[in-house]
């Protein structure tokens, strides 16, 4: 029984091979540095064989903390007594890129008496473009077995798998080679065996000329981002309507067969209200992950990072912050993970500062409710533009601007050399996105949301219902435990023109922002407010919420960090609970101050 260790340069297709061999679902994308942890699985064909997927690095010399961890893990595995095969994955279309690392690891494998083979990936591109690659010659030059494979099509993978499981090979002939000769040999082998001509580079450059051109690149970027945001709202809407219809009909069905009383109230309001509170967001999370996955896989996201580098640098950030910030529009959790690809810890911390301010999908139902209360449902320009849609765009713009301004302020207060951080990003080849892994990743993300966020929202909704139902059996909300709690914290939110009901909803939403709408729905006695906020909006409007308070609430939610999962992950990733708690408290104070200023200003304007 032996272990198989998949290693190689970033974006060489290790995770795609890992998924094909294990049947697992590691995130793969056409973006360098997407694998951030060592992954483990078992071969589908032989579950006794463990397969390890190592993060990509360019050499055995680390330039970031994550690379150091990956290299240390690899050295541990090499020094382990277990029988292991080191499988170096090389990108056949960019052979030179991984050869120095290949020979370095081959040398270490030889010294540790480990079997070493090369998996020459992306052979489908070589074959489709009729490029010549002398595999026998490359094998002779490297002195190790070379197996041509394609993780995309699966060609050659079975042969390579059999060799990894049961093949017996000589140790690599590099055990005594000094560093300087490793580097020179890699260069010579690369020059000799890389696919001849620059067809692939030229083809990519033709597209880059257009997509990165001064004018055309800007137009393409704005068009793609517009499409991205449009897709979030228009494509997800029918799916969200479908979920809403199912939850409502299920609630109605159960209510029709149950006798009235506490049990019926609990099932109607707490159970179905709780389910609706998070299930309605599942299509949104799915669509967002799907689009970001398609952009990543096409190779465009790396170009977008390049385009954004200069503008982001004015705010102390870099182009590498773009992907985390864009992911933050979906959810802060994947955004925080995405920041791991940044080698500079300072740059990463600043990105962490900005991510919670990005208008994540959890804020969407809060905005939708408040817009429905504050803005009339009219259109202009012949029905092309709606006032409510315009208000939503303005809120998004405000959120993104706040994120950038806070990052700029923090970077200047930090007085560090962040503006001087080097920007080097490998641009992956353009390719047509493959539907299956992207769909699988989107489904995984949606399922993760149901399991993690869903359970929190569900429990909070039930907790709020219990607090509101007792001790008087739901007869009088003003006499409930919930009202007592609300009156206790009322002085905090009174200066914003908000009474105890909003205070309770805001406090509950610190667990997850989405809880705000469901909590208000429970307080105002509206069932399934998450699925259909219109009746709740009418009820709130009728209850006398002033326009100034409504705007203050929008501002508060744009800034406040109300998500325990985000705070917990920030503490872990920044390796500092103090950093995460400072952000949470700081954003609460900032949100309150800005909301109060907006409330006072709006009140003066509207009076």
- Upper half-sphere CA count for residue 291 (Cβ side, 13 Å): 22
User: Residue 21, SS3?
Assistant: helix
Site for other proteins (CB under 8 A): which residue of 109, 307, 354, 485?
Answer: 307
Torsion angles phi and psi, residue 593, rounded to 5: -65, -50
Q: Which two tokens stand for residue 556?
A: 């508060």
- Determine the Cα–Cα distance for residues 46 and 140; give it in Å rounded to an integer: 30
DSSP symbol at 168: -
Residue 312 CB, shortest distance to other proteins, in Å, is 11
Q: CA-CA-CA-CA torsion for 515, 521, 523, 525, nearest 10 degrees?
A: -150
Residues in Cβ contact with 362 at an 8 Å cutoff, skipping those fewer than 6 apart:
281, 331, 453, 512, 513, 514, 563
- Determine the Cα–Cα distance for residues 162 and 116; give it in Å rounded to an integer: 14
Task: Give, as ranges, the residues between 520 and 549 that touch other proteins (CB under 8 A).
Answer: none
Candidate segments 263-271, 415-423, 431-439, 558-566, binder of other proteins by CB under 8 A: 415-423
Residue 424 CB, shortest distance to other proteins, in Å, is 5
Residue 64 CB, shortest distance to other proteins, in Å, is 9
Residue 97 CB, shortest distance to other proteins, in Å, is 5
- Determine the Cα–Cα distance for residues 601 and 581; give it in Å rounded to an integer: 30
Residue 195 CB, shortest distance to other proteins, in Å, is 7
Residues 57-86 as x/- pattern, contact with other proteins by CB under 8 A: -xx-xxx-----------------------
- Determine the Cα–Cα distance for residues 362 and 449; give it in Å rounded to an integer: 11
Residue 194 in the binding site for other proteins (CB under 8 A): yes
Residue 200 in the binding site for other proteins (CB under 8 A): yes
Candidate segments 122-130, 204-212, 544-552, 595-603, binder of other proteins by CB under 8 A: 204-212
From residue 57, give the alpha-carbon distance in Å to each of 9, 60, 591. 5, 7, 41
Q: Which two tokens stand for residue 406?
A: 């806070």
Residue 424 in the binding site for other proteins (CB under 8 A): yes
Site for other proteins (CB under 8 A): which residue of 36, 175, 239, 427?
Answer: 427
Q: Are 349 and 355 in contact (CB under 8 A)?
A: no
- Determine the Cα–Cα distance for residues 503 and 486; give it in Å rounded to an integer: 6
Site for other proteins (CB under 8 A): which residue of 142, 302, 536, 553?
Answer: 302
Site for other proteins (CB under 8 A): which residue of 187, 223, 455, 582?
Answer: 187
Residue 214 in the binding site for other proteins (CB under 8 A): yes
Residue 199 in the binding site for other proteins (CB under 8 A): no
Residue 280 CB, shortest distance to other proteins, in Å, is 40
Residue 433 CB, shortest distance to other proteins, in Å, is 19
Site for other proteins (CB under 8 A): which residue of 154, 213, 473, 495?
Answer: 213
Residue 337 in the binding site for other proteins (CB under 8 A): no
Q: Which two tokens stand for residue 534?
A: 């219109």
Residue 192 in the binding site for other proteins (CB under 8 A): no
Site for other proteins (CB under 8 A): which residue of 204, 346, 565, 603?
Answer: 204
Residue 343 CB, shortest distance to other proteins, in Å, is 8
Site for other proteins (CB under 8 A): which residue of 38, 246, 248, 425?
Answer: 425
Residue 197 CB, shortest distance to other proteins, in Å, is 10
Residues 433-472 as x/- pattern, contact with other proteins by CB under 8 A: ----------------------------------------
With residue 7 as reference, give the H or E element that holds it: strand 3-8
DSSP for 374-421, please give it. HS---EETTTTEEHHHHHHHHHHHHHHHHHHHHHHHHHHHHT-SGGG-
Residue 463 CB, shortest distance to other proteins, in Å, is 49
CB closer to other proteins out of 344 and 566 = 344
With residue 79 as reference, give the H or E element that holds it: helix 65-79
CB closer to other proteins out of 80 and 198 = 198
Candidate segments 80-88, 141-149, 214-222, 522-530, binder of other proteins by CB under 8 A: 214-222
Nearest to 316 by CA among 238, 405, 227: 405
- Determine the Cα–Cα distance for residues 127 and 100; give it in Å rounded to an integer: 25
Q: Are 108 and 60 in contact (CB under 8 A)?
A: yes
User: Residue 42, SS3?
Assistant: strand
- Determine the Cα–Cα distance for residues 44 and 88; give it in Å rounded to an integer: 20
Task: Give, as ranges, the residues between 40 and 59 that touch other proteins (CB under 8 A).
Answer: 58-59
Residue 379 in the binding site for other proteins (CB under 8 A): no
Residue 198 in the binding site for other proteins (CB under 8 A): yes
- Sign, CA dihedral 401-404-409-412, equals negative
Residue 513 CB, shortest distance to other proteins, in Å, is 35
Task: Give, as ranges, the residues between 126 and 185 that touch other proteins (CB under 8 A).
Answer: 183
Task: Give, as ranges, the residues between 95 and 114 that touch other proteins (CB under 8 A).
Answer: 95-97, 100-101
DSSP for 521-590, please give it. HHHTT-TTTTT--HHHHHHHHHTT--HHHHHHHHHHHHH---BHHHHHHHHHHTT-HHHHHHHHHHHHHH
Residue 359 CB, shortest distance to other proteins, in Å, is 25
Site for other proteins (CB under 8 A): which residue of 179, 241, 416, 426?
Answer: 426
- Sign, CA dihedral 265-271-277-279, equals negative
Residue 412 in the binding site for other proteins (CB under 8 A): no
CB closer to other proteins out of 241 and 426 = 426
Site for other proteins (CB under 8 A): which residue of 181, 201, 585, 593?
Answer: 201
- Over its C-alpha atoms, the chain yields an Rg (Å, rounded) of 28
Binding positions for other proteins, rule: CB under 8 A: 58-59, 61-63, 93-97, 100-101, 183, 187, 190, 194-195, 198, 200-201, 204-205, 208-209, 212-215, 217, 302, 305-307, 309-310, 319, 420, 422-427
């Amino acid at each position: 029984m032996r272990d198989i260790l998949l290693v190689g340069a970033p974006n060489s297709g290790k995770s795609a091979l890992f998924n094909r061999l294990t049947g697992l679902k590691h995130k793969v994308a056409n973006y360098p540095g997407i694998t951030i942890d060592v992954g483990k699985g078992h071969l589908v064909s032989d579950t006794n064989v463990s397969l390890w997927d190592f993060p990509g690095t360019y050499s055995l010399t680390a330039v970031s903390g994550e690379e150091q961890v990956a290299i240390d893990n690899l050295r541990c595995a090499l020094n382990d007594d277990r029988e292991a095969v080191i499988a170096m994955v090389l990108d056949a279309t960019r052979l030179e890129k991984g050869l120095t690392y290949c020979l370095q690891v081959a040398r270490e494998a030889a010294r540790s008496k480990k079997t070493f083979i090369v998996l020459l990936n992306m052979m489908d591109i070589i074959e489709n473009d009729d490029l010549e690659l002398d595999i026998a010659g490359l094998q002779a030059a490297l002195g190790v077995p070379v197996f041509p494979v394609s993780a995309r099509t699966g060609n050659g993978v079975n042969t390579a798998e059999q060799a990894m499981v049961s093949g017996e090979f000589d140790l690599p002939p590099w055990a005594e080679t000094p560093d300087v000769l490793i580097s020179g040999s890699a260069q010579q082998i690369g020059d000799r065996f890389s696919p001849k001509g620059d067809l692939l580079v030229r083809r990519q450059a033709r597209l880059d000329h257009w997509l990165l051109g001064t004018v055309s690149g800007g137009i393409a970027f704005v068009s793609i981002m517009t499409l991205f945001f449009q897709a979030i709202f228009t494509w997800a809407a029918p799916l969200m309507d479908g979920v809403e219809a199912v939850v409502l009909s299920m609630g109605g069905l159960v209510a029709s067969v149950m006798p009235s009383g506490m049990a019926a109230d609990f099932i109607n309001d707490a159970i179905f209200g709780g389910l609706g509170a998070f299930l309605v967001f599942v299509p949104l999370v799915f669509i967002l992950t799907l689009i970001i996955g398609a952009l990543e896989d096409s190779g465009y996201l790396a170009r977008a990072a390049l385009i954004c580098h200069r503008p982001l640098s004015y705010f102390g950030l870099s182009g590498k912050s773009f992907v985390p910030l864009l992911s933050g529009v979906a959810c802060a959790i994947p955004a925080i993970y995405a920041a791991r690809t940044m080698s500079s810890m300072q740059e990463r911390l600043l990105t962490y500062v900005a991510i919670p301010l990005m208008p994540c999908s959890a804020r969407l139902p809060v905005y939708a409710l408040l817009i429905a209360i504050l803005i009339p449902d009219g259109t202009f320009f012949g029905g092309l533009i709606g006032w409510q849609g315009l208000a939503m765009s303005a809120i998004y713009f405000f959120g993104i601007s706040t994120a950038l301004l806070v990052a700029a302020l923090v970077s200047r207060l930090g007085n560090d050399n962040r503006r001087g951080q080097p920007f080097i990003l490998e641009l992956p080849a353009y390719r047509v996105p493959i539907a299956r892994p992207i769909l699988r990743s989107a489904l995984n993300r949606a399922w993760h949301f149901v399991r993690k966020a869903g359970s929190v929202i569900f429990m909070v909704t039930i907790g709020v219902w219990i607090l509101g139902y007792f001790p008087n059996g739901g007869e009088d909300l003003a006499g409930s435990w919930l009202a007592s709690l609300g009156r206790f914290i009322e002085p905090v939110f009174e200066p914003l023109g908000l009474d105890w009901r909003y205070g309770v909803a805001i406090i509950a939403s610190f667990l997850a922002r989405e809880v705000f709408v469901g909590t208000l729905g429970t307080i105002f006695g509206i069932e399934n407010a998450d699925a259909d906020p219109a009746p709740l909006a009418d009820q709130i409007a009728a209850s006398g919420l002033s326009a100034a308070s409504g705007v203050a609430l929008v501002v508060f939610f744009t800034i406040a960090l109300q998500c325990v999962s985000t705070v917990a992950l920030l503490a872990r990733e920044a390796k500092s609970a103090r950093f995460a708690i400072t952000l949470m408290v700081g954003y609460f104070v900032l949100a309150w101050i800005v909301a109060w200023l907006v409330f006072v200003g709006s009140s003066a304007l509207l009076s």
